Amino acid sequence: MEKKKTKHGPLLTVIFTLISLAYVYPIVLVVINSFKKKQYISKYPFKLPSEKMFVGLENYVRGIQQTNLIQAFGVSLFITVFSVLAMILCCSMCAWYICRVKTKVTSLIYTLCLFAMVVPFQMEMYTLSKIANMLHLGNPVGIVIIYLGFGAGLSVFMFTGFMKSIPLEIEEAAMIDGCTPLQTFFQIVLPICKPTCVTVAILQAMWVWNDYLLPSLVLDARRWKTVPMAVQYLKGGYGSVDMGAMMGTLVLSIVPIIIFYLACQKYIIEGVVAGAVKG
């Protein structure tokens, strides 16, 4: 879109700068409070840490020790990366099959995928946690399978939406030249689908990384915690909440995401827009 000069351009810039500062303030507030002694946090949340209140990095150390946060990062990263990879690989393959083979079975699968997008997690949570328990899926590898299953609806839907628009001739030419369906898929179809892969990866990664309820019900929490579980553990695990450790943990769990976001915000925003337009 061409940019035209706006009448109140500079004024709008000033107003939005102020709004933006207010927008990041809640996060700044948590960062400020993470350097205060815990008894001062709830009492004087808006004061800058004076010499008496200042504790240095103590809150961070306590936060990490109490929640085992470093391990939680590893667990969250493992689950997110492998769930997203599994969704991209398996769901794109499934979607291609659905698009190219028209039978009653494939149209049933497609309808089920649409259906799955409407069903709220509360409908499934109790039975899913029992089934996961029975099948011994309460570990970081098992939960990847569950995420693949629960995220399949949206992923398959997005991939089929894109694949319908790929001209059949390209694939037919590849097959005539002697490609097997597997070769055709991996060498022709999947590279064309790259934008959709990025969109699916972003939407699902945002969901899986931040999801609290599913892992808290499925994972064996004594051995593995994800980052949201670690944060909630501080709230539930002790009688009175250690606000200092809480602030430290909150900051540590936000900072990597913000760095990641600033590094690839262009792709993230584009991915969200593409996902919304197709959905």
Partner 1 sequence: MEKSIKKYFPIFVLPTMIAFTIGFIAPFILGIYLSFCKFTTVIDAKFVGLSNYVKAFQDPTFLHAAWYTAAFTVASVLLINVLAFVVAKLLTKGFAGTNIFRTVFFMPNLIGGLILGYIWQLLLNGVLAYFGKTLTYTSAYGFWGLIILMLWQQVGYMMIIYIAGIQNIPGDLVEAAAIDGASKWQVLRYITIPMIMPSITICTFLTLTNGFKLFDQNLALTNGAPSKMSEMLALNIYYTFYGRTGYEGVGQAKAVIFFILVAIIAMVQNRLTRSKEVQQ
Site for partner 1 in 219-238 (CB under 8 A): 227-228, 231-232, 235
Q: Could you give the string, one character per residue 88-117, with x where binding to partner 1 holds by CB under 8 A and - elsewhere?
A: --xx-xx-xxx-xxx---x--x--xx--x-
The least CB distance from residue 78 to partner 1, in Å, is 17
- Identity of the amino acid at 165: S
Let me know: does 201 contact 219? Beta carbons within 8 Å: no
- Residues binding partner 1: number (CB under 8 A): 105
Residue 153 touches partner 1, criterion: CB under 8 A: yes
190 lines the binding site for partner 1 (CB under 8 A): no
Residues 88, 154, 156, 198: which binds partner 1 (CB under 8 A)? 156
Give the shortest CB-50-to-partner 1 separation in angstroms.
Answer: 17
Shortest separation between residue 46's beta carbon and partner 1, angstroms: 6
Contact status: 120 vs partner 1 (CB under 8 A): yes
Using an 8 Å Cβ cutoff, are 143 and 81 in contact? no
Indicate whether 246 belongs to the interface with partner 1 (CB under 8 A): yes
| Residue closest to 232 by CA, chosen among 221, 26, 32, 223 | 221
Please pick, from the candidates 77, 81, 125, 188, the single residue that binds partner 1 as defined by CB under 8 A: 125
- Rounded to an integer, what distance in angstroms lies between the CA atom of residue 221 and that of residue 139? 9
- Pick the stretch among 48-56, 61-69, 191-199, 246-254 that binds partner 1 (CB under 8 A): 246-254
Q: How many CA atoms lie within 13 A of 11 on its CB side?
A: 3
| Selection from 144, 154, 130 nearest residue 80 by Cα | 144
**DSSP output for 131-186:** HHHHTT--SHHHHHHHHHHHHHHHHHHHHHHHHTTS-HHHHHHHHHTT--HHHHII
Stretch that binds partner 1, among 56-64, 65-73, 118-126, 192-200 (CB under 8 A): 118-126
Q: Distance between CA 198 and CA 237 in Å, rounded?
A: 38
Whole-angstrom Cα distance, residue 193 to residue 174? 16
HSE (CB half, 13 Å, CA atoms) of 189? 31
Q: Answer yes or no whether residue 147 interacts with partner 1 by CB under 8 A.
A: yes
Q: Is 172 in the site for partner 1 (CB under 8 A)?
A: yes
State the nearest-atom distance from the C-beta of 223 to partner 1, in Å. 20
| Binds partner 1 (CB under 8 A): choice among 9, 54, 141, 220 | 9
CB of 57 to partner 1, least distance (A): 19
**DSSP 3-state assignment of 6?**
coil
Verify binding: residue 13, partner 1, rule CB under 8 A: yes
Query: Considering only CA atoms, which of 50, 12, 76, 46 is closest in space to residue 252?
Result: 76
Q: Which of these ranges, 6-14, 50-58, 66-74, 191-199, lies near partner 1 under the rule CB under 8 A?
A: 6-14
Among 68, 77, 81, 149, binds partner 1 (CB under 8 A): 149
Q: Which two tokens mark 41?
A: 């946090």
